[in-house]
Amino acid sequence: MNLRDLFPVWRELTPIQQKELEAAAVLRHVSKGTRLHSGEGDCVGLLLVAGGLLRAFIVTEEGRELTVYRLFERDMCLFSASCLLHSVQFDLYVEAEEDTVLFVIPPQSYQKLMTSSLPVSNYTNELMASRFSEVMWLLDQVLSKSFDARLAAFLLEESDVEQADTLRVTHDQIARHLGSAREVVTRMLRHFQAEGLTESGRGAIVLRDRKGLERLAEPARR
């Protein structure tokens, strides 16, 4: 898949703008676990996913990771170009959850494009508003929703991503997504298993009662 198939408003760019964008964008192949962006002081450029999966997360004062959102095929990350976003006052980290192919658009090139293209400027504002909305939604989850509901919602979301009811995810990985401690995740999964909702073993979690999980997760789902 090439850049013209992925960039959201490609058809609304002029031929010159298209040519400049293609010349500036760099195609990268990154392995699972690669850190692509490391906080406010990092400005690698905009990340446009061609295939794979990225995770954007923050780190709490206690050193726990908390997933803000995930980036799938055709998704773009603005916060990795933090030098363009002077109003952003928090550190966001981005890493590959799977082997991933992506385009990196240098910040200066995208800045020029935003200045010269109204469709790009409008798209960027809409995307930024959407991402901030996700941040606010996450804060509401952490502050007002119970952990069992958040865990159930995460397991269902992970099942949708993997398109399977058997999830190859560790308790530590779940804790890093939800900003919790591994011991808390383990304790809650034991409770889920006792209730017949899930079953754990051999490095996997099996969803046994999706309807029960959906009822539990309802307060914490989008």
Range of the domain at 158: 145-220
* Number of folded domains that form the chain: 2
Contacts of residue 76, defined as CB under 8 A and 6 or more positions apart, other chains included, come to 8, 46, 47, 48, 49, 127
Q: Hey, is 37 helix, strand or coil? A: strand
pLDDT-derived band at 212 (thresholds 50, 70, 90) equals very high
Whether residue 82 is predicted with pLDDT greater than 80 in this model: the reply is no
* The overall pTM is greater than 0.75: yes
Which of 122, 143, 164 is a domain's end point? 143
Q: How far is CA 129 from the centre of its chain?
A: 15
Helix axes 118-144, 107-116, angle to 10 degrees: 120
Regarding whether 127 and 47 lie in a shared domain, the answer is yes
pLDDT-derived band at 79 (thresholds 50, 70, 90) equals confident
Regarding whether 121 and 53 lie in a shared domain, the answer is yes
Which of 143, 162, 178 is a domain's end point? 143
Regarding whether 164 and 110 lie in a shared domain, the answer is no
* CA dist list (Å): 18 to 15, 25, 104, 113, 120: 5, 11, 15, 10, 12
pLDDT-derived band at 40 (thresholds 50, 70, 90) equals low
